[in-house]
Amino acid sequence: MKLYGAPKPAPNPRRVRMFLAEKGIDLVETPVDLAKREHKSAEFREKNSLGQVPTLELDDGSTISETVAICRYFEEMHPEPPLFGRTPLEKATVEMWVRRVEFQLMNPVGNYWRHAHPRTAGLLNQYKDFGESNREAYANAQKWLDRELSDGRPFIAGDALTMADICALSTVDFAHWIGLDLDPERTHLIAWHQRVKARPSAAA
């Protein structure tokens, strides 16, 4: 089994590394050099036709891509501790929050990265006004999530860390790296961030 990924600040491979760390699964990541565009090579596209990381290659040669799908595979293989919930309600709640994090947080961060950041200027036709507009969208997402966390729950989906927290942490940290910081007025969100970032898995 091989897990193809890339080191920080790439947020998606980090999600899987954090998930594996929380599970106590020891699987060394096989690095793909994004700067050299190794993920877009013909050889790698045989594993993932979209040319993206992370990608998990199983011993029989079959592959799984997309972070949540990879983590669901490991959840089924190693159900303890559960990171997608136990009961039907918990599982649905985690799924809801994963989707919300991806749409409300990750989308504006990704749009800013693609269309307003100088590091991506040579990779696509940037629409900088659109890119910059995502600063406000991300700020609004922070305000929303801060309000949601104001009920005192320690983690996004409830009392236990789940995939939703992993997705959110990797997004917030990547946003900081590209120049989109947390608003200091979002005290509940900042407290959540400090709580999750203090876990050993956050170093993955």
Q: Give me the average pLDDT of each 10-residue run along the chain (204 residues).
A: 95 98 96 94 96 97 97 98 98 98 98 96 94 98 98 97 98 98 98 98 96
pLDDT score for 192: 98
pLDDT score for 69: 98
pLDDT score for 118: 95
pLDDT score for 107: 98
What DSSP state is assigned to residue 182?
Answer: P
CATH number at residue 155: 1.20.1050.10
pTM: 0.96
Residues 92 and 143 both lie in one domain:
yes
Q: Report angle CA 11, 15, 16 to the nearest 5 degrees.
A: 130
pLDDT score for 86: 97
Residues 93 and 139 both lie in one domain:
yes
CATH number at residue 41: 3.40.30.10
In whole angstroms, what is the distance from residue 122 CA to residue 100 CA?
30
Residues 112 and 183 both lie in one domain:
yes
CB burial of residue 6 (10 Å; 0-12, 13-18, 19+)? buried
pLDDT score for 199: 98
